Structure 1
Amino acid sequence: MKLTQLISIATYTLILGGCGGGGTSTPPASSKASVSPTQSSTSVSSLVASSSTSLSSTPNSSVASTDSRPKISFNRDIKHIVGDIHSFDRRKFITIHSSNTEADWFGSNAQSLGAPNASPDLITEVMDGYDVYFGRDTGGITWQLGELNQDPARPGFVSESHAQTKGGDARWVYSNNANSAKIRQFENRLTDMIIGAQQHPFWPDGKLTRKGWALSQTDTPSEPFGTATGHYMGQYLAKYFSKGAGDLFGQPKPLYVEVMNEPLYDLVDASASPVPVEKVFQFHNTVAAEIRKTNSDVLIGGYTVAFPDYDKNDFQQWLNRDKVFIDLAGANMDFYSIHLYDFPAHNNREKYRRGSNVEATLDLLEQYDTIKFGKIKPLVISEYGASIHSMFSDPWTPQRDGLRLIAFNGLLMSFLERPNNIAKTIPFLPIKAEWGRVNGIPYNDRLMRQRKEAPGETGDEWVFTDMIKFYQLWSDVKGTRIDITSSDPDLVVNAYADNKRVYLIINNLEFNAQEFTLNDYSLNNPAFANATIKHLHLDSQNAPVLSETVSDKFPDSLSIGGSGTMIITMNYESAVVIDQTKVEQKTYATNYLQAIKTNSPLNFAINGITPAAFGEATLRLGIGRDHGKSLQPKVTINGTEVTVPKDYRGYDQYHQGKGRENFFGVIEIPVPYSILKANNQIEVTFADDGGHISSAALRAFHYSRNFTH
C-alpha cells in the first residue's frame, strides 16, 4: 500500500444497514438489521461463559432440525482435498510483511527512534512464539540501487563490477554484523520471500539515483524500454544473496520477484501525464526477460494490482487493464500478484472486499486465466488488509487496529479456500515503519507502537499494537484439513485436525453477533477432553478483544461477535482417525463476462465433472449489477431448475446508500448432486436488464462415504 493512496481524508458516518444479502442488491424490508463494524459487539465472556451459551456433555452433538439458528457441522474422519493440497500451510498463510534483516526488530537504533523494545527478544517472540513466516521486502532492492555506480561503457546501466563488489559487501555484512547470529536463526522462515521494485527510480523517466544517474530510457528492438531496470534487478538477485547450500555468506535468495509494486496507481491514476497501460505491461515482459538471463531459480510476476475493481464502469476496468495484462504479459509471468483491501471509511462509504466481492474478484481472474491458458496461474496476494481513510491522520487507536484485524481474518478465510491456486498471502503489517511517519503522525499499519501512544501510558519503549492479536489468534492452527460446513454463508468456516486436536475456525461476516449450533457427525469418536475457544471481536468501545475460554463440555451452542473470528480447539483423549476423503473439484465454464438482457437466457457449459457415489455441489455465479437489480435469476442445470438463495456472503453492498457504488459479488447456489453429469449445461435468465455475469463455476465435492451436514 502506498502512503500517497491514503492522503484523501473522508468523513466517516456510522450507519445501520441490511446485511447478508437478499433477492436484490438493495436491502429488502425483511432484511435483518445490523450495525457497522465499528459499533459494539458482545464480549466473549457473555458469549461463551454466560447461561445463554449451551454446553452439551455429549461429544457427538446434533441439535434438533427445528432450530432456526445457523448450523455448523464437521466430520473429523473426512479429509478435505483441493488439488493436491490437504493441510494448513502456515508458510503460505501466516506471514508478516517483513524480513529477518529489518532493523525494526532490534530496539535502541535509528529505526526505533533510539528507544528499546519492551520484549527482550522481539523477533523470537513473534516468529517462533506465534509460528509466523517472513513475507516481503520492497526496500532492500531500492536502497542498493542507490549505492551503485553507472557503467561508464553503458550509460543508464549499473556497473556489473561494482554490483559484484557491493553484493559481496552485503553478503559479508549479513553474516558478520552484531545481529547476524540472531537473524540467521530464522532463515527457515524466509524460504519463499517476495521482493519487488518501486516506481522510482525503477521506472525509467529520468529520476536520478543517489549516485546522480538515471536508468536508461532507450526503447529499441535491441534494447526495449525497461532493459536497464531488469538488468539491475538480475544483478541484484544474482550477486547480493547466498549462493545456496554450503555458502556461508548472504541472506537466502528470495523466491518471488514482483516487477513493480502497484505501478498503475502512480504511473496512470495519480499521474498528470498517464502512461499507457500497455507500456507498463510490456515493461513487465522486458524486465522479466532480463532477470531470467542471470537467474533461473526465481519466479517472476505482476502486475501487483493496487485496486482490482474489475466491475468498475461496467467491467471496463477489467477489460482495459487486467485482461490486457494477461493478454500481453501473462504468458511471461510465473504468477500474478494482487492487493486486496477493505475500505471501511472511504469518501463516506463502507466498501468491503471480504465476503462475496473478493470471491467474485478472484473467480473472474481464475476463469479468464483458465480460458486463456487452460490452467490457473499461481496467485500471490502480497498485501491485504484495510485502509481506514477517515483515521489516516489520527494517532494510534485500538479502534483502527480493530477494523484491520476484521479485514485480515475475513479475507484470509477466502484465501484458505484456494490453497491449490494461492502461492503466498501477506497481511500488510510492517514492524515499526518509522519511514512512514508524516507530520509527526506514525504510520497507520504497524505491529509495534511506543508505549506513550496509548492514553494513560507513558514511556518510549516499543510494545505491541493490537495487531499482534492476529498472530495470537492463529498461533496453534495446523494439521490436515477436514470436512466442515455452514448453513449460513455469512458464517465462513474451515477446519483442521492434528493428532489429538481439531481446530474449527468460524468467521462472522455479519456486523452483528450471531448464535450458531455446532454438530459433530464423525463416524469415529475418540473421547472428548475439552475445548479451548479463542474469540476475536470488538468490545463496546469498538476496540479489539481476544479472549480465551476453556470448556470441559462439547460447545454445541455458541455466539460469535459481529465481524468476529472464533477458533475452537477440540481436544480429544486419543488421536483423530482420518480415513475418508472429500475431494473438491472447482471447474469453470468455457465462457465468461456475459451481458444480462431481460428474459434472455445466458448459457454456460461446465465440462469435466467426475461425480462419485456421494457428494454435494454449488454453482457459483459472479454478478456485477447496479443496486436495485435482481440477484435471483432463474437457473436450470441440465434442464432441472434449482432454487437460488436470497443470502450470500457478507454485507448487501448497498448498505443504505453508503456501501459500494454497485453490486459485484458471487452468489452460491446449491445444486442437487444427482443432476450433475460429466458435461453440464447451465442456463441463467434474469427478469430485468443490465450488468454482467462475470464468472460461472461448479464447485463439486466428491465424498468417499455418505455424510451428514
Structure 2
Amino acid sequence: MSEVDGDVVSFTKLSGPDWLSVASNGGLSGTPLSGDEGLNVFSVEVSDVDGASTGTVHITVIGEASPVLPGGTVNVDVNWNIEYSVNGISDFGRERHITVHSAIRDPDWEGEEDKLDYLMNDLDVYFGRDNGSATWKFQATPEDPERPNMADTNWLANFDAWWKTQYDADLDWHRYEARGQEMIMGHNPHPVYPTLSWYPNGFADGWQPLDVETSAEWIIEYMDTAFRRPGESSGELPPKYWEVINEPDMELMTGQFMVSNWESLWEYHNLVATGIRERMGEDAPLIGGMTWGLHDLWQGDLPRYDGQHYYDLIYNNDPAASNGAAFYRDAGTTAYPTDGGFGSWSSGMWSGKASLTMPEAIWISMRSISMTGRRGRRRAVVPFGMEVPWKQHWIRWNGMMYTKTGFPTVNRLCCLNMERWVVHIRRILRRLIVDVSIGKISSLSVP
C-alpha cells in the first residue's frame, strides 16, 4: 500500500490474539475459535520511511449461540486507506475544541511560563477567546479634542502602531503564535458599548460614548490598525472570528447599569459588521454575535427595567438635568419589552418595592465600595426603616460630585436600585453575624 505522497506503507501486528494475522499491506485474515468469543483487541503498527505510528483494532467475535452469525465465524473488513470526512473535516480539531479563554498577551502568564508551556505543548491546548484586549485599549483611548464624547482615532492608530513594536520585541509572545489561529476576539459591554453607566466601568479616558456610531467607529479603526495584515510581518495575528459584543442580555436594563435597547444592539451589530468588511475587504475576520448569555430561552427573558427607572435617578431641577433624564429615558425605550417581570436579575426576590418594617429605624454608614466597587470614596449615609418604596430610598453623598453622562450637571442627591443595597448590606451584616430581622440595631458603622 502507498500513501498519497508515494511512500510505501507497511503494517505489523504488535499484539493481540493469535487467530488474527495482519499482512504487510494491511490485509487481515484469520478464523476465531469458540474461545475467542467477545471483544478482541489488537495493536497494529503502521510505518513508512518517515516513521511509525501505532493504532488499536477492536473486533467483537459473536459465538455460535448468536442468531446473527451462526457457525462462530466473523469476517472483518478494515479499510486503512479510506478517509471519512464531514463538510471537509476529518479530524477532531483540538484547535477548535480544546481551547483556553486567554491570549498570549495576557499578563496572567507573566512568571508562569512553565505552566504555559505545559498547557500548550504537553496538554496540546490552544488559545480560543479574548474579550479583554479590545476592552482595555478602549478604556485607554482619549476623547477627540474636536469631537466631544467621541474617540480620538488618530491616537488609536498611533497606539496600535506602537503596540505592534512591543509585540515584535517580545519573543515570548511569538513562541505560541500558532496556537491562536482559531482565536475569537470581541469586547465586553462596558465601556466600549454606550452603556451610559456613570460608574467608573462606563468610561474610557475621561469620556464616554453616547451612541452606537461612536463605538462602531472605534471598533472599525481598531480592527484595521491593531493586527498584522497579509503580507506584513509586524504585529499579532488577527482573530479568525470577531464577536460584536459579549452577552449584552445579561446586563441590558438590569442592575448592571446598561441603559440601551434591543434595537440599538442590532444597529450596533450591523454597523460593526458592515464597517469592518468595507474597510478590510477580504482580510476581514468572520463576524458573529452577539453572544447570548441567557440560554434558558424557554423560561422567558430576564427581568428588566424600563427607561423610566433611569429617568427617576436624576433629580436636579435644571435644564441640563432635564435633558439628561430625557436622554436616559429614550435610550432605554424599546418596542420589545421584557416578559420576565419587574426587578433585577441579580436579586430577584424584590418586586416593585422593599417592605422593611422594623421597630427602630436602622442607619448604616458605609463606604461606597458597595456602589462603585472601589475603595476610598466618601461615606454614604443609608437610612432604613418603615415601609419604603424602593424608588424613594435616598442615598446622600457627603459632598461628592457626580457628573451624569455627557451632561454638565452635578447630582449630590440621587436614589439607587434598592435591592442592590439590600444585598450588599445583608452581606456585610452576615459577616458581622448580625440578624437584621430582630430589628434591634439602632446604629452601625462599617469602616
Larger Cα Rg: Structure 1 or Structure 2? 2
Name the structure, 1 or 2, with higher relative contact order (CA <8 Å, separation 6+): 1
TM norm structure 1: 0.30
Q: Larger % of strand: which?
A: 1
